[in-house]
Amino acid sequence: MAPHADCDVANGNGRSASAQAGEIFAVNSPNVSYTDNEINTKYTYRTTAIETAEDGKLLATPKESVYDFKVDRKVPKVGMMLVGWGGNNGTTVTAGIIANKRGLVWDTREGKQAANYYGSLIMASTVKIGTDAKTGKDVNIPFNKLVPMVHPNDLVVGGWDISGMNLAEAMDRACVLEPALKQLVRKEMTGMKPLPSVYYPDFIAANQEDRADNVLPGSVACWEHVEKIRQDIRDFKAANGLDKVIVQWTANTERYADIVPGVNDTADNLLASIKAGHAEVSPSTVFAVASILEGTPFINGSPQNTFVPGALELADKHSAFIGGDDFKSGQTKMKSALVEFMINAGIKLTSIASYNHLGNNDGKNLSSQKQFRSKEISKSNVVDDMVAANHLLYEPDEHPDHTVVIKYMPAVGDNKRALDEYYAQIFMGGHQTISIFNVCEDSLLASPLIIDLVLVAEMMTRIQWRREDEDFKGFHSVLSVLSFMLKAPLTPPGTPVVNALGKQRNAVLNIFRACVGLEPENDMTLEHKLFA
């Protein structure tokens, strides 16, 4: 939908609610008011509390809680700093933003291709905001118009990499984009060079050593690395006149870090371990710590356990946003959607066999067993909450058999081959087998997720809320609202993990709806179901 002109709607206080530039609707409600700088809403959150009586009967009690939301309408100038900027994902997302910003069109074997943001939840999907008062038809708007969000064309991109190639050369090395498109963005990409990164050989595969020509001195964690990363963030922000920076890890998958009492189990111990040069602190954790101390949101797009307990505690102490883990782009997103459908349909899934082979540098790194183990964990736990929700199909400790295999095959490059077999029990002892062959163009699927994660994380920095008569505060430091884009969603301690794709999307959608004073959308459509 093309942007509409600014609209004026009388709100519940009789004042004019004038949508700012880029805002295409306003809400007419006594619970919503607008100022030049803020949207203020009073929102009733409805849930159901369940109690179990002595006879085992369940008692359901509807509950209502009233919250005030306050949204900063001013869209800031934002920078996106990527760790692993010179990799397949980093070069692809950078070229994609340049192409969209310039409105590029290029030749392909299938004809002309124009730049787009397909694959982005925020930029390429729509949401229903209500029904037309005259026709009764649904009114849908772009997801990114629900609240005042940053446009990816306006992002300033930078970052770090252990490889010193400029981004044009790195883009050629990645072998992802069409030659005609690469030529159109080559000038800008040639002028982009990653900052030196940290390189601790013990955490990534030995086959990555030949790329490590752009590294900071030191092969284990040290406080100088933390301070250098913090300074890099400050310099990038100042040089580009930015209001905010979001840092995202899109570098190599690391091995899992051991959780060692006295080393990384608390915030104080983690900081002391970095200063002491302890060998069990990973590069991604060092970047996370630097970002947290700098007050910069940090998102982990790889499967390793970047957020050790000490990092989680540090983020909480500094009220700094973090999110992770592992981009959910192709095979795992299909798995999340299909398993949710099958179990909700009452079909008992009994085994999932997932096989992948890929030839990009991610696959090369994953050919090492320790790094593969990190990926195996993130891909294997994506069905747990859906299985646990249906006690008619599964006993409390029962799970489908689930096997994940990844092989490095250089010839297929970034076009990962994913083969999945789903085996299930159906009516009266029958069985159903679903086999899927999925060619996942890895970086072209991951790049829109990188954008979505930045846009949503930034938006969350501009939302405050409170219970009545309390002070306003932000969301929990662990941004579980990012789960739709991530394989192994990070959640606050003691909070259930949700992997069901529909629930994850609704969480983002309904939080944004609450911010503008709209109820969660339902599909009852009672207005169309009454007798005449």
Residues annotated as catalytic (active site), given as ranges: 326, 375, 416, 487
41-67 in b/e burial notation, b at 16+ Cβ within 10 A?
bbbeeeeeeeeeeeeeeeeeeeeeeee
Give the β-pairing of 38-52 and 126-131: unpaired
From residue 311, give the alpha-carbon distance in Å to each of 221, 229, 292, 358, 473.
14, 16, 9, 32, 21
The residue whose two tokens read 């579980």 is 480
Which residue type does 507 have? A
Tokens 């999945």: give the residue: 420
Tokens of 371: 């790094």
Could you give the 3-state DSSP secondary structure of residue 101?
helix
Peptide bond into 325 cis (omega under 30): yes
- CB of 186 within 8 A of CB of 168? yes
* Cα–Cα distance, 256 to 266 (Å, whole number): 17
Among 411, 374, 361, which residue's Cα sits nearest to residue 210? 361
Give helix 501-515 / helix 331-344 axis angle, nearest 10°.
90
Burial 268-297 (b: 16+ CB within 10 A, else e): ebbbebbeeebebbbbbbbbbbbbbbbebb
Nearest in space to 466 (alpha carbons), one of 35, 32, 73, 69: 69
Helix axis angle, 88-102 relative to 179-190, nearest 10°?
90
